[in-house]
């Protein structure tokens, strides 16, 4: 929204609150293609967010290409009652093994939580590499269906 405000020809996709804060008009509301879509915004920094007691953590890991390797890593969360909330995989493209994948996983908890620390230690042993990408407070979802896509004003 700030970049769009600085460029007379610029537009941006952001929350309505960001548009209000930047002092720019909202051209179109509710541009999602599914009523219950959510958007994740990322803030990059050198340190993990402070523990709030209601957090989510993102990690990246690589496993060996063998039966059960992914299960061995992920079961560390289940055995400690940690809720897995998102998984994605991408080919590593590092050369070597054609079947080597990066796994991106989000789960409830913070690296400073004792159960999470324990799970991460066990996951490091079960994987070839593991990095904590960060943690953030879990936002409360708004369970309402947004209005249909409609222009606020004609371009």
Within 8 A by CB and 6+ apart from 125, the residues are: none
pLDDT class of 140 with cuts at 50, 70, 90: low
pLDDT digits (tens, 9 = 90+) for 21-53: 888 888 888 887 877 777 666 666 777 778 999
Cα 93 from chain centroid (whole Å): 22
pLDDT at position 31 is: 81
Q: Which one-letter DSSP state was computed for residue 121?
A: H
pLDDT digits (tens, 9 = 90+) for 76-98: 999 999 999 999 999 987 766 67
Query: Helix (H, G, I), strand (E, B), or coil: what is residue 94?
Result: coil
Please, what is the average pLDDT of the chain?
A: 83
- Topology adopted by domain 55-137: Alpha-Beta Plaits (3.30.70)
Domain boundaries of the chain, sorted by first residue: 55-137
Question: Does the reported pTM lie above 0.75?
Answer: no
pLDDT at position 112 is: 96
For the stretch 95-98, contacts whose Cβ atoms lie closer than 8 Å and that sit 24 or more positions apart, written own/partner, are: 97/65
């Amino acid at each position: 929204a700030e970049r769009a405000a600085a460029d007379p020809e610029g537009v941006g996709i952001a929350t309505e609150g960001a548009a209000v804060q930047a002092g720019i008009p909202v051209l179109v509301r509710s541009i999602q293609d599914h009523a219950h879509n959510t958007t994740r915004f990322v803030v990059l920094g050198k340190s993990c967010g402070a523990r709030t007691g209601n957090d989510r953590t993102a990690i990246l890991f690589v496993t060996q290409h063998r039966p059960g390797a992914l299960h061995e890593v992920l079961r560390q969360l289940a055995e400690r009652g940690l809720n897995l909330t998102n998984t994605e995989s991408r080919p590593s493209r590092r050369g070597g093994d054609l079947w080597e994948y990066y796994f991106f996983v989000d789960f409830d908890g913070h690296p400073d939580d004792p159960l999470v620390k324990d799970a991460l230690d066990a996951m490091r042993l079960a994987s070839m590499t593991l990095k904590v990408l960060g943690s953030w407070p879990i936002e409360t979802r708004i369970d309402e269906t947004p209005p249909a896509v409609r222009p606020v004003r004609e371009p």
